[in-house]
Amino acid sequence: MTATVVREDQAVGGGARVSAALWRRAWLRATLTLSPPLAWFLVIYLASLAVMLLTAFWTVNPFTNALERTWTLANFQQIFTGTYLTIIGRTVIMAAAVTVTDAVIAVPFAYYMARVASPRGRQALFVAVLLPLWASYMARVYAWIVILQKGGTLSWTLSKLGLGAVNIGYTNTAMWLVFSYIWLPFMIVPIYAALERIPDSLLEASGDLGARNWRTLRSVVMPLALPGVAAGSIFTFSLTLGDYITPLLVGGASSNFIGNAIYSNIGTANNLPFAAALAVVPIVIMIFYLLGARLFGAFEAM
């Protein structure tokens, strides 16, 4: 009997021995399985972030553009000057405005999708919400340029209706419209998911206890939808915060975002250290935003 076992072991060879060793040492198995993704995360993601942070404390030689590895806080001090505070303020206000706009539009829309529409209607609405995501971001932004520019579709339609021409192309209003349009699906889907999850029994219980529709909506549906709104707002807020293409294409003379300032420092000025210091700003803003969103249960709804 013993002999047979030994022979089998020899026959199967090293592979079996390795797997046996792994089975006996669970920690080794876990380490081997997890280390490639963990290494990827550490090296590609965290290390590059760390290098960027490090660069933010260096400077460039203004003449040769060579990096000078001397420690300085000058880049961060420069951020706290009027120009950059204006740019940061504009970016944050726009991100907040887009988030609020999308939430106001998305809540009733998602409620209709999740709780009113027939299954067939729900499917159609889903396709309608997601369809724009199939088209290129750039194509959709360009479409908006055509709609909003002087003599464009919007202006033409309004003037035909006798409401007078509008010329809001290349303004911050145009940016607000375009951002709100582009990120809307990212708000609708999480809210839909949150609303769909509400058991019918809760609504029935609310009715049984004498609450009317409005009261049920306010006291039962809305609190349960809030995590969805918070989750969606993470997308709309962070996507707006980090964008630089829409300001470039749709914005006017005063439309620079943090991303544009970073971009011009990498491109035109080739001042990587200052660009790195500026890049820290949206990271810090998002850390605070995520901490706030967690209070509203955003991560349970994701």
Helix (H, G, I), strand (E, B) or coil at 110: helix
CB of 180 to another protein, least distance (A): 20
- Interface segment toward another protein; rule CB under 8 A; list 32-40, 81-89, 92-100, 286-294: 81-89
Among 15, 82, 162, 164, binds another protein (CB under 8 A): 82
- Interface segment toward another protein; rule CB under 8 A; list 49-57, 146-154, 206-214, 220-228: 146-154
CA atoms of 182 and 187, how far apart (whole Å)? 10
Q: Does 256 bind another protein (CB under 8 A)?
A: yes
Q: Does 264 bind another protein (CB under 8 A)?
A: yes
Nearer to another protein, 198 or 280 (CB): 280
Torsions phi, psi for 59 (to 5 deg): -135, 175
- Interface segment toward another protein; rule CB under 8 A; list 95-103, 179-187, 199-207, 258-266: 258-266
Helix (H) or strand (E) holding 207: helix 200-208
CA atoms of 97 and 112, how far apart (whole Å)? 23
Contact 94, 108 (CB under 8 A): no
DSSP class of 197: T
Segment 212-251, which members bind another protein (CB under 8 A)? 245, 248-249, 251
DSSP class of 54: H
CA atoms of 136 and 132, how far apart (whole Å)? 8
Nearer to another protein, 91 or 238 (CB): 91
CA atoms of 121 and 127, how far apart (whole Å)? 10
Phi-psi region of 103 (alpha: psi -120 to 50; beta: other; left: phi over 0): alpha
Q: Does 199 bind another protein (CB under 8 A)?
A: no
**Residue 16 CA from chain centroid, whole number:** 46
CB of 65 to another protein, least distance (A): 5
- Interface segment toward another protein; rule CB under 8 A; list 80-88, 105-113, 115-123, 193-201: 80-88
Q: Which two tokens stand for residue 71?
A: 């420690």
Among 269, 287, 299, 300, binds another protein (CB under 8 A): 269
Nearer to another protein, 233 or 271 (CB): 271
Nearer to another protein, 203 or 266 (CB): 266
CB of 249 to another protein, least distance (A): 7
CA atoms of 97 and 143, how far apart (whole Å)? 22
Q: Which residues contact 178 (CB under 8 A, 6 or more apart)?
A: 141, 144, 246, 250
Q: Which residues are bridge partners to 68 per DSSP?
A: 59
Helix (H, G, I), strand (E, B) or coil at 220: helix
Among 27, 119, 268, 288, binds another protein (CB under 8 A): 268
Q: Does 149 bind another protein (CB under 8 A)?
A: yes
CA atoms of 12 and 16, how far apart (whole Å)? 6
Among 56, 87, 110, 234, binds another protein (CB under 8 A): 87
CB of 183 to another protein, least distance (A): 20
Q: Does 173 bind another protein (CB under 8 A)?
A: no
**Contact residues: another protein, CB under 8 A:** 62-66, 82-84, 86-87, 136, 138-139, 145, 149-152, 167, 169-170, 245, 248-249, 251-254, 256, 261, 263-265, 267-271
